[in-house]
Structure 1
Amino acid sequence: MPLNYESIFIDLKTEQNDVLHLKRIYQKDKEGSELQNLPSILLIHGSVENGRIFYSVNGKGFGSYLAENGFDVFVADLRGKGESKPNISSKSNFGQTEYILEDLPTFANKVREIKGHFPAYWAAHSWGGVMIPPFMLRFPQVAEAAKKMVFFGSKRRIRTKGVEKILKIDFVWNFLGKISSKTLGYMPTTKFGFGSDDESSGFIKESNKWIYEDKWICKDGFDYQSSFQNLKQKNGYFPPTLHIAAAKDTILGNPNDVKLLKEEIDNQSDELWLLSKSNQNLHDYDHNNMLTHKDAINDHFPKILEWLK
């Protein structure tokens, strides 16, 4: 059946007149009517990118694949990213705290408005998978509605060492990020030649703290590490999560750092997969092409689909 790609715009009612974009991808029947009772999944992108990491209008990508296989797919563009407006600039007075406490709840509520319930499944790429766990802790009613989650190349702390880490993280993300935030009011990553979207100064500051510090604390003082420990002690519910790492993802989602995030959440039902030739995958994938490679649809996507179902 043909896929329908629908853009949904949500007014955040902020001083900057921020409008969020949510792409919905789903099947219609032969008469053109929406198929009913399809399970919902909300996809969250990472830093210096937007929701297009998950789909293309010609039917490619993980989001399109899920829709072809019976999911009602919702792909978020976080504030200032993709088709959300306005684009990030020196006027962007938000960071990852606002993404966690305002954007993600708004997207989840929009899915509930459309489907009658919060998203049944979640998926994320890179830093998107770092923001979802704190969001779930702050909004337990959304966590309780979620059956499973999949994180691609998601890491919080970067403990990998080497020249690449010094260049990409210490120099570009940390040093240039701080300098550009002070001089320009934001980080124009697209002008620096990497990523499809810029980042706000608030996001640069907050994400750097989480990358370098062992403590996992929000700027409002909420301690996520302690909250996960308390949740485990009380036998509370957290959605089973599949953490996916790629063999050639050497710094942005190094398998060891992905494992660190899994251990930090410390959910017994979580799993960690490594996409590599040694694990019978077709390729040693990297940070982005684990989602965009043309062979993914016949390689690991079917296995992920089976895990979700």
Structure 2
Amino acid sequence: MVKFSTKIHKKRDLLKVFLGYLEHNFIKRNKIKNELLVLNYHGVPENFLNNFNWQINYLIKNFSIISPSNAFNIFNGQEPKHYQPKILITFDDGTKNILKAIEILDEKNIKSIIFIIPDFIDSIDQKKYYKKNIRPEINPNIENSDEDFSAISWDSLINLLKNNHHIGSHSLTHKMNNNNPKKVIENEIIKSKKVIQNKLNIDVESFCSINNSLLSINKYAIKKIKENYSFHFTTIAGNNIEKKPYSIKRINVEAFWTKYQFLFAIGKIENFRWKRKRKKIDFLMD
């Protein structure tokens, strides 16, 4: 179990640890039967695989972890008759260090969506690309091996597909913002889909906007997302009680977080904090 450390955590995270402890131990979490929490991880460095395993085991005990296909059906209005709180696991960026985490999921028969960046995969210097375009600020106490900065290869992605994981687009370059000209937006949304489809011989149904969705997409981007994809996954947190396929809320969690940081992220207090941004993204996507 990861303990709080200023080497890997920020001082302000202490508040999350405290609130997570308080909520978990003293505030009863009423299960909302039709909630669907979509979690998004980024990389899972090898040093934190045991912590990732603990997180997944906690979710198994407290939720029904569903497959991407089941999630797509739910967002299309096919809610199962027996309601219970659900979880969907997603990964952003497609770094090579998630492959061992996915092995842990496979052992538990859990399937995920991996949102990939084609230009990252095809770049000559992936470590340089990662540091420049994906995560400019690197903590060497968290990310320090080659696989932390490398992209999953197209061949490995094909193997993941064979094992019933899903692949979505996380833009072409991971440089999107809401001031991009139309041609750039088209490349990020449409070209990324075409590249993935050609490389993997699949139909790409899902797009995941980058960083802060409120800052990375605009009305033209929304138009192109709706024309080319069936689902849009955001970076705005929420419980998806209302099933909105183009405004899917996701909760960011990380494998290096402490127990109570993790529990805080999926709890009521943190959910309330995102209320205003949820309204904004829903208004934007309508």
| TM-score range relative to shorter protein | 0.3 to 0.5
The answer to which structure, 1 or 2, has the higher relative contact order (CA under 8 A, 6+ apart) is 2
The structure with the largest strand share of the pair is 1
Q: With the length of structure 1 as denominator, give the TM-score of the two structures.
A: 0.38
Instruction: Say which structure is richer in helix.
Output: 2
